[in-house]
């Protein structure tokens, strides 16, 4: 037998008691309906346990900062900058690892460093590694920023979060990156980047977790 709603079977005196209890609160708007939560005025909501009215301003400022941080993280500009920065770091790291395992001709190195002392030789090596890290990081950062910015704009326009955002942004980003090589190369680059984005999205981002049973 379904459980009856107690609010529907209250007497008139009980309804009056409910309204009196609600109206006794200094910041609540009295309700004419039984079992309805009071409507609090903005900035006069009940405080968490252990806080007083003196802490209300600090809590409001903290909440405002959290709302601003959440809004900033959802901004396309912030997403683009973060993706570009992370891409630059990943590209620089890959370049550093490849330079560490790169094969060099010792005779060619000796000819290029003829007449240099140990400090000059080390300085030349670090400069070459720095140039390689900057070049690789700039390329990765450009790809990451371009892809993230386009995807954010498409997602905001479509108001959806599905695989077509990744495919569309990958196609546009690939076409923009290969635009200097001609229309055919731009179209092919867009298709390749779109396919790569779809594979990454399906294989890693949207893959359902395996059942633990």
* Contacts of 90 by beta carbon, 8 Å cutoff, 6+ apart: 137, 140, 144
Strand partners, 29: 39
Instruction: Please provide residue 39's backbone torsions phi and psi, each rounded to the nearest 5 degrees.
Output: -100, 115
Is 161 buried (19+), middle (13-18) or exposed (0-12) by CB count in 10 A? Answer: exposed
**Distance separating alpha carbons of residues 182 and 126, to the nearest angstrom:** 36
pTM above 0.85, yes or no: no
**Distance separating alpha carbons of residues 207 and 203, to the nearest angstrom:** 6
Q: Per residue in 83-140, pLDDT tens?
A: 999 999 999 999 988 877 766 666 666 676 677 777 887 888 788 888 989 999 999 9
Q: Is the pLDDT assigned to residue 24 strictly greater than 80?
A: no
**Distance separating alpha carbons of residues 39 and 29, to the nearest angstrom:** 5
């Amino acid at each position: 037998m379904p459980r009856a709603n107690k609010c529907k079977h209250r007497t008139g005196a009980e309804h009056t008691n409910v309204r009196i209890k609600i109206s006794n609160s200094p910041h609540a708007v009295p309700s004419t309906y039984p079992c309805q939560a009071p409507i609090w005025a903005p900035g006069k909501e009940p405080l968490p346990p252990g806080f007083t009215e003196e802490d209300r301003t600090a809590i409001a400022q903290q909440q405002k900062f959290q709302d601003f941080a959440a809004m900033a993280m959802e901004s396309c500009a912030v997403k683009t900058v973060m993706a570009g920065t992370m891409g630059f770091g990943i590209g620089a790291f890959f370049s550093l690892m490849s330079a560490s395992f790169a094969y060099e001709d010792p005779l060619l190195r000796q000819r290029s460093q003829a007449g240099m002392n140990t400090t000059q030789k080390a300085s030349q090596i670090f400069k070459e590694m720095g140039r390689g890290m900057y070049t690789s990081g700039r390329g990765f950062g450009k790809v990451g920023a371009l892809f993230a910015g386009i995807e954010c704009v498409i997602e905001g326009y479509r108001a959806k979060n599905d695989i077509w955002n990744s495919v569309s942004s990958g196609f546009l980003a690939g076409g923009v990156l290969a635009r200097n090589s001609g229309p055919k190369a731009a179209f092919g680059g867009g298709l390749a980047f779109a396919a790569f984005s779809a594979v990454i999205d399906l294989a890693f981002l949207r893959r359902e977790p395996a059942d633990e049973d």
